[in-house]
């Protein structure tokens, strides 16, 4: 069964959203580094890599089904935030938005009885549970810490422990 034109268009749009996510997290990484949050900046760099992995997973799927990936312009991400908490709150909100989009593609796949795409989306649905949990847990911790210098120092150090993933290892 060939992918429907609507499904190819929808996944192409999602590829753009995943690249935009990468862009947004890289912008957050640079902001955090400029604010001397080196650990949090590293966390965001890992997140950037993960998003490239997500985009490439959809890319490989579209190409693997004999269709053409059409790359569109990536919009400019936000570049300033108010605090470390503001960054992670923003990341959490963004992940909630991405979850909505993934669920929307799953709805379309169900409508079209497109089981192959649904199987791919199952991976993304699980991934989104993790993405939301990771960002909201960090935002919650930051709310507890408030503006205490010690607390911010400790959490920055902890965030810096996140291991690097590569686009090819992501999603395997």
Q: 22 or 85, CB closer to ligand FEO? A: 22
Q: How far is the CB of 54 from ligand FEO (least distance, A)?
A: 4
Euclidean distance between CA atoms 93 and 70, whole angstroms: 27
106: nearest Cα among 94, 116, 97: 116
Two tokens, residue 154: 């400790």
Beta-carbon contacts of residue 94 (< 8 Å; ≥ 6 apart): 21, 24
Site for ligand FEO in 137-166 (CB under 6 A): none
Q: How far is the CB of 131 from ligand FEO (least distance, A)?
A: 4
Q: How far is the CB of 133 from ligand FEO (least distance, A)?
A: 12
Under rule CB under 6 A, residue 57 binds ligand FEO = no
Under rule CB under 6 A, residue 21 binds ligand FEO = yes
Q: How far is the CB of 148 from ligand FEO (least distance, A)?
A: 29
**Cβ-count burial of 33 within 10 angstroms (0-12 exposed, 13-18 middle, 19+ buried)?**
middle
- What number of chain residues touch ligand FEO (CB under 6 A)? 7
166 half-sphere exposure, CB direction, 13 A CA radius? 2
Q: 95 or 156, CB closer to ligand FEO? A: 95
DSSP symbols for 141-155: HHHHHTT-HHHHHHH
Show the binding pattern over residues 94-133: x = contacts ligand FEO (CB under 6 A), - = does not: -x--x--------------------------------x--
Q: 12 or 21, CB closer to ligand FEO? A: 21
Under rule CB under 6 A, residue 51 binds ligand FEO = yes
Euclidean distance between CA atoms 95 and 136, whole angstroms: 9
Q: How many CB atoms lie within 10 A of CB 112?
A: 15
Binding site for ligand FEO (CB under 6 A): 18, 21, 51, 54, 95, 98, 131
């Amino acid at each position: 069964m060939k992918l429907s034109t609507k499904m190819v268009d929808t996944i192409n749009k999602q590829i753009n959203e995943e690249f935009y996510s990468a862009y947004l997290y890289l912008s957050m990484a640079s902001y955090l580094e400029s604010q001397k949050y080196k650990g949090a900046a590293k966390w965001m760099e890992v997140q950037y890599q993960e998003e490239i992995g997500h985009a490439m997973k959809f890319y490989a799927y579209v190409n693997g089904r004999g269709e053409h990936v059409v790359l569109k312009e990536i919009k400019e991400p936000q570049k300033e935030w108010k605090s470390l908490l503001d960054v992670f709150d923003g990341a959490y909100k963004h992940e909630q938005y991405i979850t909505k989009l993934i669920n929307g593609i799953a709805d379309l796949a169900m409508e079209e009885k497109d089981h192959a795409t649904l199987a791919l989306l199952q991976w993304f649905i699980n991934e989104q549970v993790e993405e939301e949990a990771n960002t909201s847990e960090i935002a919650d911790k930051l709310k507890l810490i408030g503006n205490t210098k010690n607390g911010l120092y400790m959490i920055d150090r902890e965030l810096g422990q996140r291991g690097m993933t590569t686009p090819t290892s992501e999603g395997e």
